[in-house]
Chain A
Amino acid sequence: MATLNTTPDTEKIKAREGIISILEDIQARFGYLPEKELRNVAEHTGQSLVDIYGVATFYKSFSLKPRGKHLVSVCLGTACHVRGGPNVKKEFEHSLNIRAGDTTKDKEFTLETVACLGACALGPIVVADGHYFSKVTSPKVKQIINKTREGLDKVEIQTDQRIFPVEISCARCNHSLMDPDHLVDYHPSIRVTISFERKHGWLRLSSLYGSYNIESEYEIPENTVVNFFCPHCHTELRGAANCVECGSPMVPMIVKGGGVIQICSKRGCKGHMLDLSGGIYG
């Protein structure tokens, strides 16, 4: 059936797409969409504020209220609903003392409900900071909250067999970068010097392949691209490749026993490559 709008207004659609990615960037930066920023967007794109506000309120991934540090989503899709999702939600609301959609006073948790996460057979599903919990029952809720509060990125080393320790040396001077006196994840750490935003200091990486735990002299803000240096020869550890996830430069290091590991230089990005055969700049 032909309608009046047979040719979609491509200009309009394009402008809209542009807005979505701008809003996504703002959301990534602040964790929510501050009013001031939305007004800024309106001014710079020449779009009216209503339209931008409309887009911002339409999509669930945008939030106009500041969000908590941890995001917990309880699935209330059909399958999870019949398997007891509502009870799980209630338990979360009870334990966190907030309603779904709200953030705790201490800005630690944001609780929200979602409709189907595509893992129905394992329902009720709860996703906390990107980690899936399956077959969640009310008694498990407390546990999930505690784990999330501690940080889910701290991987349980013993239990996960995919995680193994590596020994690393500088790609330029071949000096070992291992620091046996300083443990991260109960294993000798990898020590490098870093610089970002005019700050220089040390950084210790976990030598477990698959763990992202680090310790550093300075708190590195999320999404900062950091320059890595060898503490022995002081050359910058910088490869030719860019991270496939975020496009930031990769940092190459030699793995003892042959091979190269490259990690992304952006804080928070988990991009990495392990190549046990090739050369450094291959």
Chain B
Amino acid sequence: MVNLKLNGLIISVEEGTTILEAARFMGFPIPTLCHMEGLSPYGACRLCVVEVGEGTKAKLVTSCTSVVQEGMTVRTASARVVKARKMIVELLLATCPQSKVIQDIASELGVRQQRFRQEYEDCIMCGLCVRMCEEQMMAKAIGFRGRGDHRSIGTPFDMKSEVCRLCGGCIYVCPACQLRCTYTEPEKAICGGCMNLTPPCLEKEKFEDMMCYMEPCVACEIKNR
């Protein structure tokens, strides 16, 4: 067991637990975006930052990738943390304003506006789909390509992958395309609800002039063509 101070509370948790898990277990909410149970932590979205340490030595770390250590002090909602989180949400909104998931997080944190140049990127590089494909579906059909601002997610050579089984898992976990194409039942909120069994991002040609009432549907990929 490891003892630590969490928001002033002295607790002991099992070794190897992440700060995120410990905090959630104790009932302290921490917003997350790129974290999902069953997938390995990745630390891409930075939303889950918490403050570790005391005084001038305090650092912001991502709680989803940091494991607890004996005697550490953690604050999950200090002024510094909240400020950083708000900024991160603003940046996410600047990249992908249409995502319901990001919008929800923003309103939860009281962010009503973002001060950066507005882009409509769709993909926020959270890597959920990549990990889903690799770790749960054992397919490894999609992955990161390129680097810097040319980084993108997709299949090698942008071709239909031979290892993809069209499970749709990637679309299911995507915070950017979720809740976009839901056919007539928005509460289903799973892409593929419109009864196309092929994830649109894998068959761009076919879906080029598709339209649905939540226009622009499948814009996530087609827009870029």
* Residues of chain A with a CB closer than 8 A to B144's CB: 54
A53 touches B61 (CB 8 A): no
Q: How far is the CB of B105 from chain A (nearest CB, A)?
A: 23
* Interchain CB contact (< 8 A) of A48 among B65, B67, B140, B146: B140
* Residues of chain A with a CB closer than 8 A to B155's CB: 50
6 nearest A-B pairs in the assembled complex, by CB-CB distance:
A50-B143, A53-B156, A48-B140, A57-B145, A57-B146, A49-B156
Residue B142 interfacial (CB < 8 Å): yes
B157 touches A4 (CB 8 A): no
A58 touches B147 (CB 8 A): yes
Residue B52 interfacial (CB < 8 Å): yes
* Interchain CB contact (< 8 A) of B156 among A1, A38, A58: A38
Contact residues of B: prevailing secondary structure = loop
Known: A1-B61, A4-B41, A38-B156. A50 touches B69 (CB 8 A): no
Q: How far is the CA of A200 from the CA of B147 in the complex (A)?
A: 48
B66 touches A50 (CB 8 A): no
Q: Within B67-103, which residues are at the interface with A (CB < 8 Å)?
A: 67, 69
Residue A2 interfacial (CB < 8 Å): yes
Q: How many residues of B contact A (CB 8 A)?
A: 24
* Interchain CB contact (< 8 A) of B67 among A4, A38, A49, A57: A4
Q: Within B88-143, which residues are at the interface with A (CB < 8 Å)?
A: 140-143
Q: How far is the CA of A3 from the CA of B66 in the complex (A)?
A: 4
* Residues of chain B with a CB closer than 8 A to A156's CB: none
Residue B197 interfacial (CB < 8 Å): no
Contact residues of A: prevailing secondary structure = helix
Q: How far is the CA of A58 from the CA of B69 in the complex (A)?
A: 35
* Residues of chain B with a CB closer than 8 A to A5's CB: 65
CB-nearest residue of chain B to A58: B147
Total A-B residue contacts, Cβ distance less than 8 Å: 50
CB-nearest residue of chain A to B145: A57
Residue B18 interfacial (CB < 8 Å): yes
Mark A residues whose CB is within 8 Å of B: 1-6, 35, 38, 48-54, 57-58
* Interchain CB contact (< 8 A) of A53 among B40, B67, B157: B157
B140 touches A4 (CB 8 A): no
B41 touches A50 (CB 8 A): no
14 contacts between A and B (CB under 8 A): A1-B52, A3-B66, A3-B67, A4-B67, A48-B143, A48-B163, A49-B163, A50-B143, A53-B145, A53-B157, A54-B144, A57-B146, A57-B147, A58-B147
Residue B59 interfacial (CB < 8 Å): yes
Q: Within B28-85, which residues are at the interface with A (CB < 8 Å)?
A: 40-41, 43, 52, 59, 61, 65-67, 69
Q: How far is the CA of A209 from the CA of B43 in the complex (A)?
A: 57
Q: How far is the CB of A157 from chain B (nearest CB, A)?
A: 43
Q: How far is the CA of A164 from the CA of B122 in the complex (A)?
A: 63
CB-nearest residue of chain B to A64: B157
Name the residue in B40, B59, B147 with the highest tally of chain A Cβ atoms < 10 Å from its Cβ: B147
* Residues of chain B with a CB closer than 8 A to A58's CB: 145-147
* Residues of chain B with a CB closer than 8 A to A2's CB: 66-67, 69
Q: How far is the CB of A50 from chain B (nearest CB, A)?
A: 3
Q: How far is the CA of A51 from the CA of B67 in the complex (A)?
A: 27
Name the residue in A1, A6, A51 with the highest tally of chain B Cβ atoms < 10 Å from its Cβ: A1
Q: How far is the CB of B129 from chain A (nearest CB, A)?
A: 12
Q: How far is the CA of A54 from the CA of B153 in the complex (A)?
A: 10
Q: How far is the CA of A85 from the CA of B144 in the complex (A)?
A: 31
* Residues of chain B with a CB closer than 8 A to A38's CB: 156
* Residues of chain A with a CB closer than 8 A to B141's CB: 50
Interface string of B1-25 (1 = CB under 8 A from A): 0000000000000000010000000
Q: How far is the CA of A50 from the CA of B156 in the complex (A)?
A: 6
* Residues of chain B with a CB closer than 8 A to A51's CB: 140, 143
A4 touches B65 (CB 8 A): yes
* Residues of chain A with a CB closer than 8 A to B61's CB: 1
* Residues of chain B with a CB closer than 8 A to A49's CB: 140, 156, 161, 163
Name the residue in B142, B143, B147, B161 with the highest tally of chain A Cβ atoms < 10 Å from its Cβ: B143
A53 touches B143 (CB 8 A): yes
Q: How far is the CA of A57 from the CA of B156 in the complex (A)?
A: 10
B140 touches A50 (CB 8 A): yes
B67 touches A54 (CB 8 A): no
